[in-house]
Structure 1
Amino acid sequence: MKNMARILSGLSFLIGLSFLNGCQAIQKAHLSEDPSTKMSVTERYNRGRSFIESELYDSAIEDFNETLKLDPYFAPAHNSLGVAWKKKENYELAIAEFGKAIVLDPGFIEAYNNRGVTSYIMNDYDNAVEDFNVIIQQTNPILASAYNSRGIIWKNKGDYEKAISDYTKAIEINPGYVVAYNSRGIAFREQRQYPKAIEDFSSSIKINYYNEDAFINRGMTYFLMADYDKAINDYNKALKLNSHNPETFSSRGVAWFKKGDLKNSWQDFSHAVKMNPNLAKAYNSRGIISFTLKKYDQAIQDFSKAVEIDPRYTNAYNNRGITWRNIGEYQKAIADYTRTMEINPRDPEAYNSLAWILSTCPDPTARDGKRALQLSTRAILLRPDSFKLDTLAAAYAETGNFQEAVSTQEKSILLMSKSKVQNAKAMNEFHKHLQSYKAGKPWRDTPERMVKNDSGQRAAESQ
């Protein structure tokens, strides 16, 4: 039943052609009297294809329509007309024409491929898979690109095992298929099988050293492995191949940041936004550098630009909220955290940050211990860590429950001590909080207090 709409459309098309067939002799006689039809079907069709190559899609559509008036049964013309509509991003008309080509010629592999790709663009993965299945079955199987295309769809559907299997088959058919190595490498990386991903991207580079995407993908994988030097080296090579890619500058900027090289990081993000003024993540990342350098006005300016470009960019709202808090603009910080939770009700950092202000704000009108307790509990349920326990302890203290505050703060310190990444500054803060709660005093935040959970680095990492 999945393809019933396509089947009915095909039947309707054939019925229409039967009617046209009855009139075709009269139609051709009529057309032969028109000087504009002196071009043969083949000549007009070939001119249409030339128009597509020249990106003159309207002219191509006109020629293919005229071709089909002369010969409604000419499947390649329907296919090419579909290609022209696809180029104009009119995907529904494209799908319809590819379907007509397939009805006329059920073995027309190119039409199946085109319809499958168009269905994929429309996020119609099930029908796309159906078309690539037909290609694979009919080619016995020799078309590596069909396996690669079907693999991409499986990956987008979250079935990595089937995706990797299809990419592997594509590579077996064509051992020099650079795209399939890249595709399989991405699938391995998303499965956190980083060594296998590196191997595939390296194979792609070995086959074609001028493959910019392979260097970028390998660099991203090295970054995830925390091998920032190798990541930067690959981004450098990608930029030698294409020095006008703002995304690569932005990615390299994050790697520089992770190495602590704020100067080079700043320069890369600035290059990125100069090339693409709408690259919100680069503004966000550059804002993080300003925050790290305590240049709060510059940070707010960049975070604000990021949310202006992308009004649903939660990381930028969170980061701006942190910055507002550090300069004592608590109400503005509350507004940004609230906006983040509206956009993404499952963002633990927003819950945690808002709970901290409601627990520790020096302005008593902004504090709300009971709500802070609810928010911090929600944050821990979403993503537990020592920082969120620290906030929960502050919420208990604000409500006057110092026994629970002390107990929770001790758990926070214990969890931090077991962390692979030690944070001496945070640990010192945690002990100060504990002493305050033992003395029966809730903690009070102060402006210019550096962010206690390194949210800046996390935001830069995730962008």
Structure 2
Amino acid sequence: MKYLILCIVLINFCTAAAQTAKEHYQKGNELLKEKKYAEAVSSYDAALAKDSLYAFALNNKGRALFEQKLYEQAKEVFDKVVRLTPKDADVHYRRAKCYWAMNYFESAIIDYTTTIELDPKHLEAYYNRGLGYQEVDRNKEAIDDFNTVLELRELNASTSEKYTDIYTLLGFSKRLSGQFEAALLDLEKAIEINPKDAAAYYHRGTIKAGTDAPEAGLLDLTKAIQLDPEYAKAYYQRGLTYRLQKEYKNALKDFSKVIEINPEANRSYISRGYTYANMGKAKDAIKDYDKALEINPKDAATFIRKGYANIDLKAYDAAVVDFTAAIDLKTPFSSYAYNNRGNAKRLLKDYEGALVDVNQSLQMDSLNAFAYTNRGLIRMDKGEQEAALTDLNRAIELNDQVAEFYYNRGNYYLKLKKYDKATADYSKSLDLAPEYKQKEISKLLKVAKKGFLSGE
């Protein structure tokens, strides 16, 4: 009898405990609906204190944490739910969203893939996995997922109004994968569906600006900006397009606008600095490069650009410091940095040091045409004329479309009074790039022609 009474007491106690856990869970759900997320978490914790394996309470606790942007905590909760209910597609989907929010795109893709395996018609998972593939430059897979979204949307009338940006996303992925004509068709469809889709105009403008229609590209980029006056990417792309069109003042305005929108946009400081350099304003360029390097002090390419600007200012010692900083970072740009440091040392008349650097550049990249032309100049300055010509010729063999190479060899021939060959090289330099050292080369060309005609 005593044993029976004890069993009844235990059963009643367990039932009461279970009911209490359920009551806390239901209270948490009410708070979740009211968007009182922190209070909801407390209620779910109370439920879990009674039953630590209560999957529904864990799941909704994860949702409440996610809504508070506590992504790491939410992910840890969903880890537990996945262990309890590994076949629940929605749990994998929610954990994927946590990974996405933390920029762990590969992990998000894995969970979205599991979601799709468990629920092959999970439209949201295809859509978000497509976005994930875009983030990791797997554009073929992104295109496949976005096409699946279109197919699923057509099969389900209730989703026909969802994901209206799908053609824009398809156009974006096709643009990134080089399918420009197909991308333009998708983007035109996107604009037809939503004439106020700023992103569609941006992507279409980017394609046109990068192909053979820069003016049409500028019109689309301007339209994107009109639709979204804070669209930093559109300002940046329009700035690049203006710079390529040599509309430097307009380019400066756009890069400055990006910086106004986002003061940490180091690419815009770099691009504005490069624009100043194109305008011959090396001091302004250096200011922008310095700002970019404050934001990212491990950017070897920007140290190299700053070195170029210092060479333009004839601040060769400062240029050596810049190129050394680039070398110290040990990036794929090191070959270029050694070559340019060699050039700066040559201008300082440190010919032996220059030769060591340029040889190091060629050891790292034996096809670096600029290193050969620099070594040719060093050897010319050292009086090693035959070896100099070999290097200058090699640079042109590697790349016969660089005006600077013909200019350098033209100087070699002029120095040796080989006026006919100097004339041919200066002329070729002007043909390739009429604006490259135009005044200087035109003067040298006259000297070479005069020498040739005089029969010296």
Partner SS state of residue 206, structure 1 = helix
Check whether the contact 1:380–1:389 (CA below 8 A) recurs between aligned residues: no
1:306 corresponds to which of 297, 305, 326: 326
* CA spacing shift, 1:378–1:259, aligned 2, 3 Å: closer
Partner of 1:167: 187
1:267 partner amino acid: K
In structure 2, distance between residues paired with 1:168 and 1:240? 31
Partner of 2:405: 388
Partner of 1:293: 313
Where do 1:407-418 residues align within 5 Å? 407-416=420-429, 418=431
Note the C-alpha offset of 1:104. Answer: 2.4
* CA spacing shift, 1:267–1:368, aligned 2, 3 Å: same
Check whether the contact 1:390–1:408 (CA below 8 A) recurs between aligned residues: no
Mean Cα deviation higher: 206-215 or 38-47: 38-47
Partner of 2:439: 424
Partner of 2:351: 330
Check whether the contact 1:356–1:372 (CA below 8 A) recurs between aligned residues: no
In structure 1, distance between residues paired with 2:203 and 2:438? 38
* CA spacing shift, 1:89–1:300, aligned 2, 3 Å: same
* CA spacing shift, 1:40–1:166, aligned 2, 3 Å: farther
Partner SS state of residue 165, structure 2 = helix
In structure 2, distance between residues paired with 1:92 and 1:265? 38
Q: Between the two proteins, what is the percent identity of the paired residues? A: 24
Partner of 1:16: none
The two structures, once aligned, show a CA RMSD in angstroms of 3.7
Partner of 1:117: 131
Give TM-score, length-normalised by structure 1: 0.74
Partner of 2:200: 180
* CA spacing shift, 1:206–1:101, aligned 2, 3 Å: same
Note the C-alpha offset of 1:406. Answer: 4.7
1:151 corresponds to which of 161, 165, 171: 171
Deviations 1:99-143, CA, capped at 9 Å, x for gaps: 221122222122112222333344433323221220122223753
Check whether the contact 1:413–1:431 (CA below 8 A) recurs between aligned residues: no
In structure 1, distance between residues paired with 2:354 and 2:151? 58
**2:113 pairs with 1:99:** yes
Partner of 2:223: 203
Partner of 1:136: 150
Note the C-alpha offset of 1:279. Answer: 3.4
Deviations 1:180-208, CA, capped at 9 Å, x for gaps: 32222222222242112211211111111
1:154 partner amino acid: K
1:273 corresponds to which of 287, 293, 298: 293
Partner of 1:256: 276
Partner of 2:375: 354
Bigger Cα Rg: 2
Partner SS state of residue 311, structure 1 = coil
Note the C-alpha offset of 1:40. Answer: 5.7
Deviations 1:412-432, CA, capped at 9 Å, x for gaps: 133345553262223444566
* CA spacing shift, 1:238–1:378, aligned 2, 3 Å: closer
In structure 2, distance between residues paired with 1:309 and 1:53? 41
Which structure is higher in RCO with an 8 Å CA cutoff and minimum separation 6? 1
In structure 2, distance between residues paired with 1:413 and 1:420? 11
Check whether the contact 1:99–1:115 (CA below 8 A) recurs between aligned residues: yes
Check whether the contact 1:119–1:127 (CA below 8 A) recurs between aligned residues: yes
**2:45 pairs with 1:67:** no
Partner of 2:8: none
In structure 1, distance between residues paired with 2:228 and 2:309? 36
Note the C-alpha offset of 1:231. Answer: 0.9
1:84 corresponds to which of 68, 73, 98: 98
Check whether the contact 2:300–2:331 (CA below 8 A) recurs between aligned residues: no
Give TM-score, length-normalised by structure 2: 0.75
Deviations 1:62-87, CA, capped at 9 Å, x for gaps: 32233334444432211122233445
In structure 1, distance between residues paired with 2:215 and 2:164? 24
In structure 2, distance between residues paired with 1:131 and 1:229? 42
In structure 2, distance between residues paired with 1:98 and 1:202? 36
In structure 1, distance between residues paired with 2:344 and 2:455? 29
Q: What 5-or-longer segments of structure 2 have no aligned partner? A: 1-17, 23-46, 155-159
Q: What 5-or-longer segments of structure 1 have no aligned partner? A: 1-27, 442-463
